Amino acid sequence: MSNMTNTFTIEDKSTPLCESVKQALQTYFDTLEGEDPVNLYQLVLEEIEVPLIEAILKHTNNNQSKSAVQLGLSRGTFRKKLKQYGFIPDTIKDTDR
């Protein structure tokens, strides 16, 4: 078993990913100038999931099964996210036939 930690870091390898997220959120809140955020949870998920999916697909040479396993997702859930973010086309709708 490796001694790797579950702490991610950004490019300079000294700032944990969670600190970068905190900084980004604070910057976002500052730009709101007192207004309440809308759909913040979904906004953050989309900002994190898209580059995560891009990175894992690159790491696995676009192998969806390996990507799903490495992310800890079922293959079906991973495919749902691929469709959600436009990595693969959604099923053909009746009106598109």
Structural domain including 67 reads 38-96
Which residues, other chains included, contact 7 with Cβ-Cβ below 8 Å and sequence gap of 6+?
A: 16, 17, 18
Claim to verify: residue 87 and residue 46 sit in the same structural domain: yes
Query: Dihedral of CA 34/35/36/42: which sign?
Result: negative
pLDDT in tens, 39-83: 999 999 999 999 999 999 999 999 999 999 999 999 999 999 999
What percent of the chain shows pLDDT beyond 70?
79
**Torsion-angle region of 13 (φ positive above 0: left; ψ -120 to 50: alpha; else: beta):** left
Claim to verify: residue 58 and residue 24 sit in the same structural domain: no
Q: Does residue 2 lie in a domain region?
A: no
Which residues, other chains included, contact 89 with Cβ-Cβ below 8 Å and sequence gap of 6+?
A: 83
Query: Residue 89's CB: how many other CB atoms inside 10 A?
Result: 8
Claim to verify: residue 67 and residue 92 sit in the same structural domain: yes
Claim to verify: residue 44 and residue 86 sit in the same structural domain: yes
**Residue 2 in this model has a pLDDT that exceeds 50:** no
Q: What is the pLDDT of residue 92?
A: 53
